[in-house]
Amino acid sequence: MIEGQKTLGKRQRLRCGMIGGGRGAFIGDVHRKALAMDGRIELVAGCFSPSIENTRETGESLGLDPERLYASFSEMFAAETRRPDRFDFVIIVTPNDTHFSIARAALESGFHVVCDKPLATSSRDAETLDRLAAQKEKLFCVTYTYTGYPMVKHARDMIAAGELGTVRFVSAEYPQDWLATPLEKTGQKQAAWRTDPIHAGISNCDGDIGSHIENMVAYMTGLGIDTLCARLDRFGEGRALDDNASIMVDYVGGARGLYWSSQIAVGNDNGFRVRIYGTRASIEWAQENPNYLRVGHVDRPTEILSRGRDALSPRAQELSRIPSGHPEGYFEAFANIYRTFAGALARKINGEPLGVGDLDFPGAADGARGVRFIERCVESSERGAVWVKF
């Protein structure tokens, strides 16, 4: 570890750099707003675009030092490693095909990493990043945003405590309609790269939003997938990648599951919903109404738990920011992931031990499992929707 990075000392905030997220991008600005919410992290450097003009314009709009605006990620890492005030970690918000090369270079340069999902376009590369992060003793966060919601934390704690009994069945869906028309042919940036195998990888719909389902179910239940059977559809004319996915799942231990993700489901905005059915109770959580958790019971009336009003598990309560009736949403969930990551990183820099609770954010191992899920789904579908081992 470089001298000067061993302790935060009197410095109250962590420093970060960002790659991607320039003018015209979507998710980079979400990251910037979320990381700023708790005042624990300061964005100090960026390579926001392959275009240095875009990077400079973005950096100027953010009030960054022009000397810390870089033309490439390699230039950025080389320059920052020489600075006494180098950033502590880097945020990667670029298209899927660039995640691996940037994250590997960041780890090899001695930086901790926050990376958008999917972690890479192959499980081999994703597993390489997981191993490299461990070898370099660097924290690595993969931003599966939805695990940051307080009610998701409470659902996870309920299941872990056995309140649902034995989980029998999981039903999860993620319908959108933004690709119901050939949006990619209009020049819309997000549609263009997500439907392009060169940049998106081997899957679009399942890789983009289906991977959120896999991560959420694994996070909530702790269940591991044993086998799966997937059918990936291409309804958009001329599309090279899927825009609809139906997946049956058998979990280790005997539970079953059914996942559906779609980008052509007309009339749906961002309808991520998870239902988990146990022998004693069930839960239902919906991303578009995230402050509430529906709990069904075998022996008493169904209840609706409200974030901010009802007593939640300690972890869920810790991340609940405002009173009931004041909706918390996407930005707050994202901020909760950054809050946890920042707390863990500050402790690590200061040489303090990290407990399980400190690491309650999606890591490189979660990212690698997510990429393996995408690959198995594509394999199953290409073989005629057959059952494959996970």
The reported pTM is: 0.94
Helices (H), the chain: 27-36, 52-61, 73-81, 99-108, 123-136, 150-160, 189-194, 197-200, 205, 211-221, 314-318, 330-349, 364-382
Domain borders along the chain are: 14-146+338-362, 150-321+369-389
Amino acid letter for position 342: A
Rg for the chain, CA atoms, rounded: 21
**Any idea what DSSP says for residue 68?**
G
Strand order in the sheet with 14-20: 41-47, 14-20, 89-93, 112-115, 140-142
Confidence tier at 83 by pLDDT (50, 70, 90) = very high
Q: Check: CB of residue 305 under 8 Å from CB of residue 292.
A: yes
Q: Kindly report, residue by residue over 137-159, the tens digit of the pLDDT.
A: 999 999 999 999 999 999 999 99
Answer yes or no: is pLDDT of 9 > 80: no
Q: Check: CB of residue 313 under 8 Å from CB of residue 298.
A: no
Phi and psi at residue 296, in whole multiples of 5°? Answer: -100, 145
Average of per-residue pLDDT values in the chain: 96
Predicted local confidence at residue 10, as pLDDT: 58
Q: Kindly report, residue by residue over 200-229, the tens digit of the pLDDT.
A: 999 999 999 999 999 999 999 999 999 999
Q: Kindly report, residue by residue over 263-312, the tens digit of the pLDDT.
A: 999 999 999 999 999 999 999 999 999 999 999 999 999 999 999 999 99
Answer yes or no: is pLDDT of 2 > 90: no
Predicted local confidence at residue 24, as pLDDT: 86
If phi > 0 it is left, if psi is from -120 to 50 it is alpha, else beta; for residue 319 that is: alpha
Average pLDDT over residues 350-359: 94
Q: What percent of the chain has pLDDT over 70?
A: 97
Confidence tier at 7 by pLDDT (50, 70, 90) = low
Average pLDDT over residues 238-262: 98
Confidence tier at 11 by pLDDT (50, 70, 90) = low
Q: What is the CATH code of the structural domain delimited by 14-146+338-362?
A: 3.40.50.720
Residue count (the chain): 390
Amino acid letter for position 122: S
CATH topology classification for 150-321+369-389:
Dihydrodipicolinate Reductase; domain 2 (3.30.360)
Predicted local confidence at residue 15, as pLDDT: 98
Question: If you search the block for the tokens 């039903």, which residue do you land on?
Answer: 171
Answer yes or no: is pLDDT of 3 > 60: no
Average pLDDT over residues 41-58: 98
Answer yes or no: is pLDDT of 344 > 50: yes
